[in-house]
Amino acid sequence: MAKPGMDREARQGLTLIAPPFLYALAILAVPVLTILSYSFLTDGYLEVIGEFTFGNYIQVWSDPIVRAVLLRSLSVSAAVTVVTVLLAFPVAYYLSFVVRPERKSMWLFLITIPFWTSYLIRVFLWKVILGYNGVINSSLTGLGIIDQPLTFILYNVNSMVLTLAHAYAPFAILPIFVALEKIDRSLLEAGRDLGENRLMTFWRVTLPLAMPGVVAAVLIVFIPTIGDYVTPELIGGGKIPMIANLIQVQMLALDNRPLGSALAVTAMLVVAVVSLIFLWLNRRFLRVKQ
Amino acid sequence: MIASRDQRPETARPMIECNEIQKYYGDYHALRGIDLVIREGEFFSLLGPSGCGKTTLLRTIAGFEGISSGAVLIDGKHMENVPANSRPTNMVFQSYAIFPHLTVAQNVAFGLRRDPRGKSEKAALVEEALAMVGLRGYGGRAAHALSGGQRQRVALARALILKPKVLLLDEPLSALDRKMREQMQVELIKLQRQVGITFVLVTHDQEEALVMSDRIAVMFDGEIAQLDEPETLYARPKDRRVADFIGVMNFLPAQITREADGIVSVDVPGLGPVELPESQVSRANPDDSGPVLGFRPETMTLLTPGQSSQHARETDVVIDEVVYYGDMTYYDLRLEGTQHTVRISMRNVFGRDVQSVGTKARVAWSPGSLVLFR
């Protein structure tokens, strides 16, 4: 670049992006790099010793408990994702295809109402609803439908899936809604015109075109639920820990930050690999330009 | 003029029958008693300004819109309880509605899913359909990589491969540029002759309708104002709305002096007394203050100085404005002794000079090309 003008322009550009860049560095890169470097250090009792080691990873990857908890996290997340997206799709569809255009923004507003209360309170409320003497059990006994309170609705995987699915529903509804809104309605008429009924038109036209939204919804739900920590603690009663609970135990309770970091990095890698495989499987839908 | 067009015999089988169709959207009366018969093998156009109900009518035929009362019959069968996907019609949408997630070949083959033929047979059909619209070898392309004209061809192939009894075209050329549009008009006419099925075209472009159609229904406000062959529509518009909508027409105030034996005598300032048979008398607009005489720009000929005509009548004029178009010249002429200006068009031919503004001249015309609106 011989031109001095270009230099000035480049400098101006750099000045412009510098604040967000520093911000991203401080908020994203520094914590991740800290955890990453911790994971290669040695744990001394109550302190971290600056000696490089693969020991933490060897310990994490060879521990059957970690493997079991990681698998449980994956399967709970997968179940939550499936339930959430399956429940979110009809809502998004209704919102996009049935609700009158002038009412849509009100509906979107209503869908975000759960965010008005803290996540912790919402999780706790589910405990109240599902508990031994909770809303469901007391009303069912009161109505004489059951004699004994149902026990399978709290402190197990089902209740965790239910709670998480409720918490993440808006995150799934919104991307699917956006994808459905983008579909040119004449495509659906074309599907019908070419001899397909409503159901087949949905299967052959609407669903493939909504897939980018579904993929986004899956990732938005799957990635954070794997790391969820509050719900297993409260709804799972601490008896069915997920990977985040293991990390918490190592980091805080046992003060073994290197091992906790190795667990965190491992979980991150697993999520990244699963997400990439999922994206790759859906690549043909994601290439479509509407 | 008429000989250039295929003449469909009046006796051809009716393919689409619309009986007294009424359609309301809430309080809005979209279709007001449409009665219409479209014959087998006909290239039929629904022409009108936007909001006149032409697209609504097409969509009721396709089955996308219900009707409030009346009946639609296709090939003699009542369509009341037949959904769009079971009707023997296929549609080319205004936006073409090409499926963006499928290739060209998959788009064309979309409607063949339940066809019992084998894979290779279907592939051959698709290739044949693509060849018919001039897209041989495009099957593997992604739909979003196509130009507007190519999308339209895919939409045509996708509809025609199903061998419908009726092809419905909803403003199919409006998204194309002028050159492409003119080319596609000719191609559509050829394609229609080749496949021989009934085409129903919706358009707001009067020129397009005139070029392509065997017959045209001109619609205003949910009603058919006139249903005729293009030549009749152009030369003998039934009312002034139709005359205004189709092509350019000059209007001059007229006074009726006598009516007898099917002949209306009028006096027109600048042109003098004219006698017109009933066949040249049409309806005026409700808000017209009196009778109006109309004629097309090309029905008057500007005479070169000293030239005399074979026509029955000649009139003195002053040239007010000259608009030169290359192949044509438009003249705005003030009729001698009046303040009325009319526009005429002259084809530019070798050896005839374009006349200049401000000169006095003579035009020749014939009463046979006039229409009286009253």
**For B35-87, what is each residue's pLDDT tens digit?**
999 999 999 999 999 999 999 999 999 999 999 999 999 999 999 999 999 99
**For A220-249, what is each residue's pLDDT tens digit?**
999 999 888 888 888 877 778 889 999 998
pLDDT at A10 over 90: no
Residue in the block written with tokens 């394609």: B191
**For B234-286, what is each residue's pLDDT tens digit?**
999 999 999 989 989 999 999 999 988 889 999 998 898 999 999 899 888 87
Contact residues, A window 103-162, toward B, CB-based 8 Å cutoff: none
Q: Taking CB atoms and an 8 Å limit, are A196 and B85 in contact across chains?
A: yes
- Those residues with Cβ within 8 angstroms of residue B84's Cβ, 6 or more apart along the chain or in another chain: A189, A192, A193, B62, B63, B64
Decide if B116 touches A, using CB distance below 8 A: no
d(C-alpha A170, C-alpha A88), whole Å: 8
Q: Taking CB atoms and an 8 Å limit, are B95 and A194 in contact across chains?
A: no
Least reliable range by pLDDT among A26-35, A159-168, A185-194, B301-310: B301-310
Percent of chain A scoring above 70 in pLDDT? 98
CA-based nearest distance B109→chain A, Å:
10
Query: What is the Cα gyration radius of chain A?
Result: 24
d(C-alpha A26, C-alpha A15), whole Å: 17
d(C-alpha B3, C-alpha B16), whole Å: 26
Nearest alpha carbon to residue B84 among B107, B59, B108: B59
What's the rounded mean pLDDT across residues B86-108? 95
What are φ and ψ of residue B287, in 5° steps? Answer: -90, 5
Percent of chain A scoring above 90 in pLDDT? 50
CB-nearest partner of B93 from A186, A208, A284:
A186
Residue to mutate among A100, A192, A194, with most B CBs inside 10 A, is A194
Residues of chain A neighbouring B114 (CB-CB closer than 8 A): 195
Residue type, B370: L
What CATH architecture applies to the domain A64-286? Orthogonal Bundle (1.10)
Decide if A283 touches B, using CB distance below 8 A: no
| Ordered domains of chain B (ranges, CATH) | 2-240 (3.40.50.300), 248-294 (no CATH), 297-368 (2.40.50.140)
CB-nearest partner of B100 from A192, A196, A290:
A290
Residues of chain B neighbouring A289 (CB-CB closer than 8 A): 100, 144
Three-class DSSP labels, chain A: CCCHHHHHHHHHHHHHHHHHHHHHHHHHHHHHHHHHHHCCCEEECCEEECCCCCHHHHHHHHCHHHHHHHHHHHHHHHHHHHHHHHHHHHHHHHHHHHCCHHHHHHHHHHHCHHHHCCHHHHHHHHHHHHCCCCHHHHHHHHCCCCCCCCCCCCCCHHHHHHHHHHHHHHHHHHHHHHHHHHCCHHHHHHHHHCCCCHHHHHHHHHHHHHHHHHHHHHHHHHHHHHCCCHHHHHCCCCCCCCHHHHHHHHHHHCCCHHHHHHHHHHHHHHHHHHHHHHHHHCHHHHCCCC
Measured between alpha carbons, how far is residue A108 from residues A90, A91, A105, A174, A214 in Å?
14, 11, 5, 8, 18
List the single residue in B with minimal CA-CA distance to A195.
B85
Parallel, antiparallel or unpaired: strands B166-170 and B313-324: unpaired
Contact residues, B window 31-90, toward A, CB-based 8 Å cutoff: 62, 64, 83-86, 89-90
CB-nearest partner of A194 from B95, B144, B162:
B162
Percent of chain B scoring above 90 in pLDDT? 72
pTM for the whole structure: 0.82
DSSP letters spanning B178-225: HHHHHHHHHHHHHHHHHH--EEEEEES-HHHHHHH-SEEEEEETTEEE
What are φ and ψ of residue B189, in 5° steps? Answer: -60, -45
Q: What is the pLDDT of residue A44?
A: 79
List the single residue in B with minimal CA-CA distance to A199.
B85
What's the rounded mean pLDDT across residues A119-143? 85
Decide if A209 touches B, using CB distance below 8 A: yes
- Name the residue ranges covered by the structural domains of chain A: 64-286
Q: Taking CB atoms and an 8 Å limit, are A192 and B85 in contact across chains?
A: yes
What's the rounded mean pLDDT across residues B112-125? 93
Alpha helices (runs of H) in chain B, residue ranges in sequence order: 54-62, 104-108, 119-132, 148-160, 178-195, 206-212, 230-235, 240-245
Decide if A288 touches B, using CB distance below 8 A: yes
Confidence category of residue B4, pLDDT binned at 50, 70, 90:
very low
Decide if B93 touches A, using CB distance below 8 A: yes
List the single residue in A with minimal CA-CA distance to B159.
A194
Q: Please say whether the dihedral angle defined by the alpha carbons of residues B187, B248, B343 and B3, taken in this order, is positive or negative.
A: positive
Complex prediction ipTM:
0.84
Q: What is the pLDDT of residue B6?
A: 53
Distance of CA B194 to the CA centre of its chain: 21
Higher pLDDT: A87 or A17? It is A87
Q: How many CB pairs under 8 A join A and B?
A: 66
Q: Taking CB atoms and an 8 Å limit, are A197 and B95 in contact across chains?
A: no
Confidence category of residue B11, pLDDT binned at 50, 70, 90:
low
CA-based nearest distance A210→chain B, Å:
11
